[in-house]
Amino acid sequence: MGARVWFGFEPARIAGAVVTLACSAVVAFTGAAGMHGGSAAGVADRAPVVASASNADNPCDDYVFSLDEIRDAEKQWPQRRDDMITRAAAWSANASFVQLTMSCDFFDNEGNAIEDHDDINWNGVFYDPNGTEAHYWHSATGETYFVYEETALDVSNISFDQLADWLDDAGIDDHARIAGVIVTNNPSSKLEPDDHFSYVVTFVANDGTVTEMIVDGRDGAITQTTL
């Protein structure tokens, strides 16, 4: 099941482009995009999101990322990756890392908006190819979701430093309002996944215009769409 289309919509794409007008931000919820299932085996329901590593720049104090803050995310990524993989292994020994979402975490564990969150929210989606149920595990909550993503990410090649460099080369302003990044082998609505991952980067302009950039994970080639 390679497609991520549900009733004609792309769940992960919707998740990456939900505009919150009050703060001119985009909330990228990978799990909320899928059809909610039950709790993943061996993982507590509504498990707390792991707290962010120390980052003096408080990358999400304005609910969006600049290019420099995307680079700063690289400092957190190795630990966040290892944390998610460890928790996924507790869910299933066959867990395969299939999608990553990086956004600003301005909700508490009950789903309520709070004003003083300035952490990065790291959410991975894992798939068990040998599982008996068509469920996917969302690392931040420990719940299962139908999110149609089955191709494993090459997480060793994910680099937010490299992503920032490619966006800089493309002329993106240093103070760009980047609302979220999704790393996926299925960056568009085609049925079959790519043989490599892409970064799906969502920008919010001052006038509220939302733009999506698909950045090829091999060479940084960019496809841009206004949503």
43 occurs within a structural domain: yes
128 occurs within a structural domain: yes
pLDDT reported for residue 120: 86
pLDDT reported for residue 106: 61
4 occurs within a structural domain: no
Q: Give 9-35 pLDDT, tens digit per residue.
A: 343 333 333 333 223 233 333 333 333
Q: What is the DSSP code string of the chain?
A: -----BTTB-HHHHHTTEEEGGGTEEE--HHHHSEEEEEPTTS-TTPPPPPPPP-TT-TTTTSSB-HHHHHHHHHHHHHHHHHHHHHHHHH-TT-EEEEEEEEEE-B-TTS-B-TT--EEEEEEEEE-TT-SS--EEETTTTEEEE----SPP-GGG--HHHHHHHHHHTT--TT--EEEEEEES--SS-SSPPSS-EEEEEEE-TTS-EEEEEEETTT--EEEEE-
Which residue range(s) make up the domain with 26?
11-226
How many domains in the chain?
1
Give dist(CA 121, CA 118) in Å, integer.
Answer: 9
pTM for the predicted model, two decimal places: 0.74
pLDDT reported for residue 200: 96
114 occurs within a structural domain: yes
pLDDT reported for residue 204: 87
160 occurs within a structural domain: yes
Which two structure tokens, joined as six digits, stand for 31? 């799990």
Give the residue ranges of the chain where pLDDT is below 70: 1-59, 61, 106-118, 134, 147
Q: Give 189-203 pLDDT, tens digit per residue.
A: 777 889 999 999 999
5 occurs within a structural domain: no
2 occurs within a structural domain: no
pLDDT reported for residue 109: 56
181 occurs within a structural domain: yes
Cβ count within 10 A of residue 85:
15
